[in-house]
Amino acid sequence: MLHFVTGNAGKVHEVQSLLDAEVEQFEFDYTEIQSQDLREIAARGAREAYREVGEPVIVDDSGLFVESLDGFPGPYSAYVEDTVGVERLWRLVEPEADHSAAFRAVVAYCDGGEFEATPEPVDRGERRGPDQAAAERSSATTDDQVDADDLSVKFFEGVVPGEIVAPRGDGGFGYDPIFEHGGQTFAEMDTEQKNAVSHRGRALARFAEWYEQS
Ligand code: ITT
Ligand code: NA
């Protein structure tokens, strides 16, 4: 049985809607280290939770990165939602000329086993300039490196670009009312529509492709 480690019911709903595999929510308060890196946070959570439950686990660490605020709130998105709130984040972005933003999700999987690293494509960067190759790497929507730490963790990432707008819609959770993609806010989409384009949906689709054939 796959355990999804989270206290966030909105995430659970999206994961259960997307994955064919049976998933059980596992509420476990893992150490959320202060880190700029979603991977580090997710990997720590996956290792701790695996040690606790002894069965396969996934952790989703995600965040909203606003261009004009240099990527804020990013890894601090949960803290900012709890303190400042979604409406006031919109007020902060409203006067800015550039409203562009991205949601990012890292799904970390741990089952106590070891995973093969996927080899880098041999032609990476050959037909592209170094700047573009670097940009592609930093905005990579797929990545499945292996952490060299004690317990192996496999990562699946998803990114979705959008715009910060005045709140609209009552679906979803968190920052969904102020994140617009393709003319609709995430809070105006149903779960399937959101999963088809969202950061979490993209990361989970990559995870599912790997998990269901392994
Ligand atoms: P767990 O750590 O227990 O999984 P969390 O809500 O604390 O739940 P994160 O630490 O990953 O999750 O923080 C992510 C923050 O970004 C949190 O404020 C979420 O509400 C927000 N967020 C993440 N994905 C989102 C989405 O799809 N739509 C809206 N807000 C999202
Ligand atoms: Na959290």
Residue 120 alpha carbon to ligand 2 centre in Å: 31
H-helix or E-strand containing 109? strand 100-110
Enter the tokens of residue 131.
């700047």
- Tell me, what's the pLDDT at 158? 98
Ligand positioned closest to the Cα atom of 101: 1
Catalytic positions are 61
Q: How far, CA to CA in Å, does 213 sit from each of 46, 208, 210?
A: 21, 8, 6
| Residue 56 belongs to domain spanning | 2-211
- Tell me, what's the pLDDT at 118? 54
Residue 97 alpha carbon to ligand 1 centre in Å: 26
**Which residue of 175, 194, 195 sits with most ligand 1 atoms within 8 Å of its CB, as the best mutation to test the pocket?**
175
- Tell me, what's the pLDDT at 149? 53
- Tell me, what's the pLDDT at 148? 53
Length of the chain: 214
Model confidence at 32: pLDDT above 90: no
Residue 134: band (very low, low, confident or very high) from pLDDT cuts 50, 70, 90: very low
Model confidence at 132: pLDDT above 60: no
Say which amino acid occupies 143: D
User: Average pLDDT in the 130-157 region?
Assistant: 58
- Tell me, what's the pLDDT at 30? 79
Could you tell me which residue, 33 or 114, shows the higher pLDDT? 114
Q: Are 93 and 70 in contact (CB under 8 A)?
A: no
Looking at the structure of the chain, the number of domains it has is 1
Lowest-confidence pick of 44-58, 85-99, 115-129, 168-182: 115-129
Q: What's 113's domain CATH number?
A: 3.90.950.10
Model confidence at 145: pLDDT above 70: no
Model confidence at 12: pLDDT above 50: yes
Task: Give this prediction's pTM.
Answer: 0.87
DSSP state letters, 38-77: HHHHHHHHHHHHHHHH-S-EEEEEEEEEEGGGTT-BGGGH
Most confident of 16-20, 131-135, 150-154, 193-197: 193-197
Say which amino acid occupies 211: Y
What whole-number percentage of the chain has pLDDT above 90? Answer: 74
Q: What is the ipTM of this complex?
A: 0.98
